[in-house]
Amino acid sequence: MADTPTPDVICALQGATKTYGEGATLVHALHDVSVAFEKGEFTVISGPSGSGKTTLLNMVGLLDVPTSGKVSIVGEETSQLKPRRLAAIRAQRIGFIFQSFNLVPVLSAVENVELALQLSDAPGHDRRKRAEDALSAVGLGQHFNRRPNQLSGGQQQRVAIARALVKNPALVIADEPTANLDSVTGANILDIMRDMNEQRGVTFLFSTHDPMVMERARRVVHLRDGKVVEDERRSGIPAKAGG
């Protein structure tokens, strides 16, 4: 990896190390990891439990900072940034999709999506319309005003996808997005994300054990014991699940 990120690099880790504890209890969750993710990639981070997948996603998502090393998002080196600036980058550049959907239960579907726009400081006058368009794009045009507890798991995850995408982020981080869904629903969710990737060029970074997701990934970064052990780039991946 080059020291200076190329224009297509959305996110780059350079010698990123994350340790917990000290002395005899020191644990390296990530150990000198250098990896870059380019615009439009559909990448899976794979590895056994404890390999550092979640820690890597936390670094890339700016939810955590490395003990040493650098993390750059769209060319901006972040390890020295103040929490307020990190929050602003998360709000404007990064979308999150979680295993447990993580919708705000007291807000309707459209309000959940709108909240992401509000936090990204998007102009107020068209926030509602943008939120509705994002929900319509994931097939939830009829469910704007339903609360999360009135939606199925698959529908909730679609709201989460709409929430992640509505602000046109540089990067979407999806942490086990299909783990709480049945296989058919999971495939549908995956199709939506692939469509967004192919049609809009949205960059996705997954952490998953789901073989269905692994099958669709164009790039798989294998981690073990906090280190990148393989960076596999694939070709001829079907556009649609089962396709």
Partner 1 sequence: MFLRLAFRNVTRNWQRNILSLVSVVAGVAVIVLGRGFVSGFKENIIRAQVDTVSGHVLARPVDYPSTGLQHPVDALLTVDADTAAWLDAETAGWTKRTLFSPRVVKGPDSMRVRAIGLDPETDPSVFPRTEWTVQGCPIEEAGRRVVVSPGVARILQIELGDVVIVESRTSAGAINALNAEVCGITKSGNPGQDRIGIFAGPELVAELLRPGDGTSHVMALLDRRDDAESVAQELQSRLGDGAETATWHDETKALVEAQEMRQAMLDLIAFVLLAMAATGIANTVLMAAYERVREIGTLRALGLTRRGVVTLFVTEGLVMGVVGAVLGALLSGAAMYNWAVKGIDMSPLLAEMEKGGTYDNIPVATMLWVEFSPATMLGAAVFGVAVAVLASIYPALLASRMPPAEAVRA
Least distance CB 94 / partner 1 (angstroms):
8
- Give 52's DSSP letter: S
Strands 76-77 and 94-97, sheet pairing: unpaired
Give 51's contacts (C-beta < 8 A, 6+ positions apart). Answer: 223, 224, 225, 226
Least distance CB 229 / partner 1 (angstroms):
23
Least distance CB 111 / partner 1 (angstroms):
7
Question: From CA 149, how far away is CA 74, in angstroms rounded?
Answer: 36
Q: Residue 99: what are its φ and ψ, rounded to 5°?
A: -55, -40
Least distance CB 205 / partner 1 (angstroms):
14
**CB closer to partner 1 out of 120 and 178:** 120
Residues that bind partner 1 (CB under 8 A): 54, 58, 61, 63-64, 83-84, 87-88, 90-92, 96, 98-100, 102-107, 111, 114-116, 118-120, 163, 175
How many angstroms from the chain centroid is the CA of residue 104?
18
**CB closer to partner 1 out of 151 and 187:** 151
Q: Which residue, chain included where needed, has tokens 């319309």? A: 129
**CB closer to partner 1 out of 179 and 212:** 179
Query: Cβ(109)–Cβ(140) under 8 Å?
Result: yes
Least distance CB 243 / partner 1 (angstroms):
32
Residue 235: other Cβ atoms inside 10 A: 5
**CB closer to partner 1 out of 179 and 214:** 179
How many angstroms from the chain centroid is the CA of residue 109?
20
**CB closer to partner 1 out of 168 and 215:** 168
